[in-house]
Amino acid sequence: MRALTWHGKRDVRVDTVPDPTIERPDDVIVRVTTTGLCGSDLHLYEVLGPFLDSGDILGHEPMGVVEEVGPAVTELSVGDRVVVPFNVSCNACAMCTQGLQSQCETTQVHEHGTGASLFGYTKLYGQVPGGQAELLRVPFGNTLPIRVPEGPPDDRFVYLSDVLPTAWQGVAYADVPAGGTLAVLGLGPIGDMASRIALHRGIRVIGVDLVGERLDRARANGVEVVDALDVDDKLGDAIREMTGGRGPDAVIDAVGMEAHGSPIAKAAHQAVGLLPDAVAKPFMQKAGVDRLAALLSAVDVVRRGGTISISGVYGGAADPLPLLQMFDKQLQVRMGQANVWRWVPEILPLLAEGDAFGVESFATHRVPLSQAPEAYAMFQKKADGAVKVLFSP
């Protein structure tokens, strides 16, 4: 089969690799029909090379059709249409049954002290072959895949793999009170979708970004937008002026460690990328520092007694936080990888009934998998208005 594989920093290639096979009785093999490019994939493209091997298959946002089932699979049949969550979770352990699939005890990576394994990610999360490929082996075939109805196009359902539950959890964790205001920092795929979900719930949304096309896209959906380049280092003042001098009730940080405005941490990221893997691994695990501009902005922007919901990924092990300010403002902070199946029962009916969040027009680019390397480069540069890229294997 053809699959998108990692070969080094900013070096991904579409290679011919062996087809996956049934390895356990409850495995299924899915022929991928649509698969997404996620902002988290850029972390692999840029800084997490020490935890990857050449030839690793990337991608964690696939959907497709069941092509083969193991002998213990009773809940799916060949031909069923499914979405595959990015969490590799059993849906039966103590964590999963509490709705914490991202902490699945069956697939936790004890060697690195991390949570549930993830499709198409690093050794830190199980190094499970990913879904930017023609075929994907999916474990826990009775409980992990999400069966979706025939009829609507893939774009209606593919975001159940990651984007929709991640954004939904971000809004849920923000816990905006009735009549309240939510600020969303970063209007990439997650921030954009979180804004749509919040608007659907009747929440006032203020969106912040520095890419004109993303601001225009959010504005067209009813978001009040702030161009970060216009306010420079006075973002907090600008948003307080829009909220009666108090600040929003909650802030979603949908940026994470890709934030602009931290030249020292940026230089550290680049320096680590030049180190041999044997040196870079322990450094990143014990002394890694993120670019915290977005999180620090969230602490400044949110009102006293408010909530910060972190959806953007951070990876630093030694990040300095302004705990005095956070304590003094009496902030609540909630974060974590999305627990996909926790939110599916709430989201799926809205998709089955219609296109409640504009998902069928959400992708800005749909390209053949053969053009994935060019798409990665485009997405990283935020070129050509790229917000969301879908691949057709």
Q: Among residues 176, 191, 160, 225, which one has the least CA distance to residue 311?
A: 191
Task: List the chain domain ranges.
Answer: 2-162+338-392, 164-335
Topology adopted by domain 2-162+338-392: Quinone Oxidoreductase; Chain A, domain 1 (3.90.180)
* 30 backbone φψ class: left, alpha, beta (φ>0; ψ -120 to 50): beta
Task: Give the model's pLDDT for residue 106.
Answer: 98
Report whether pLDDT(66) > 80. Answer: yes
Mean of the per-residue pLDDT values for the chain?
92
Q: What is the pLDDT of residues 104-152, one digit of tens each?
A: 999 999 999 999 999 999 999 999 999 999 999 999 999 999 999 999 9
Topology adopted by domain 164-335: Rossmann fold (3.40.50)
Task: Give the model's pLDDT for residue 353.
Answer: 85
Q: Among residues 373, 351, 371, which one has the least CA distance to residue 362?
A: 351
Residue 49 pLDDT grade (very low, low, confident, very high; cuts 50, 70, 90): confident
The first and second tokens of residue 175, run together, are: 């816990």
**Model-level pTM?**
0.92
* CB within 8 Å of 266: residues ≥ 6 apart: 291
Fold matches, 2-162+338-392 and 164-335: no
Q: Read off the pLDDT of each residue in 94-98 and give the average, rounded to a whole number.
A: 98
* CB within 8 Å of 12: residues ≥ 6 apart: 4, 5, 6, 45, 58, 372, 373, 376
